Structure 1
C-alpha cells in the first residue's frame, strides 16, 4: 500500500510520518508539502501514486482538492488533525501519528 503524508512545508509533521512508516515493509511511503517553500512540494504525481493520502489539517485537504481536483477524485483523503506545533521526530508527534494512523491502517508494534 502506498501512503502519502501531506503538511505545509514537509519539514516536520509529514516528514516525521514518512520516516516512521517507511520502516514497515507493507507500506511504500512519501511525504510532501502544500506551500511554495516546501521541502518537497506536492504534485499530481504524488496524488496519482498514493493509495491513501493523510493530511495534517483541514487546510491541506482543501488545498489538495483545489489544486488537484481531477487527480484526487476517488482517492481516500484522511485528515489527522495534527496542528503545526511539533518539530521533526518530536516524541509526542510520533505517538500521535502512530495512534491516529492506526485507526485507519495496521501499524505493527
Structure 2
C-alpha cells in the first residue's frame, strides 16, 4: 500500500513519517511504501497530482492541511482515502517523540 505523507514544507513531520514507514519493520514488512511532500510552493518536495495518483492513502498532519489539500487537489483526490494524523508542528525532523507519536497514529489508522 502506498502512503503519501503531506505537511506544509516537507521538512520535518512528513519526511519523518516516511522514514518511520521505511525503517520500522512493523510497517515496512507489512508492505507499506511511503513518500512525502509539502503543500507550500517552497516545500522541499512540493505536492503534485502525480504523487497523489501514486498514493493509496494520503495522510496530512493537521486539519487545516486537509482543507488546503482538498481545495487545491479535489479532482485528484477522488477515490483516495485522506487521513488527518493530528500531529502538531512542534517537532524537529526525526525527533524521537515525533517518531513514537507517528507510530501510534499510524497503528490507529492503518489497522
Same fold (TM over 0.5): yes
TM bucket (normalised to shorter chain) is over 0.9
d(CA) in 2 for partners of 1:104, 1:82: 13
What is the RMSD of the two structures over their aligned residues, measured on CA atoms? 1.0
TM-score, normalised on structure 1? 0.93
* Structure 1 equivalent of residue 16 of structure 2: 16
* Structure 1 equivalent of residue 105 of structure 2: 100
Instruction: Identify, as 1 or 2, the structure richer in helix.
Output: 2
Q: 2:37 aligned with 1:56, yes or no?
A: no
Q: What are structure 1's unaligned runs of at least 5 residues? A: none
Q: How far is 1:74 from its partner? A: 1.7
Q: How far is 1:31 from its partner? A: 0.2
d(CA) in 1 for partners of 2:97, 2:5: 17
Give aligned pairs, total: 106
SS at match of 1:104: helix
SS at match of 2:36: strand
SS at match of 2:110: coil
Q: What are structure 2's unaligned runs of at least 5 residues? A: none
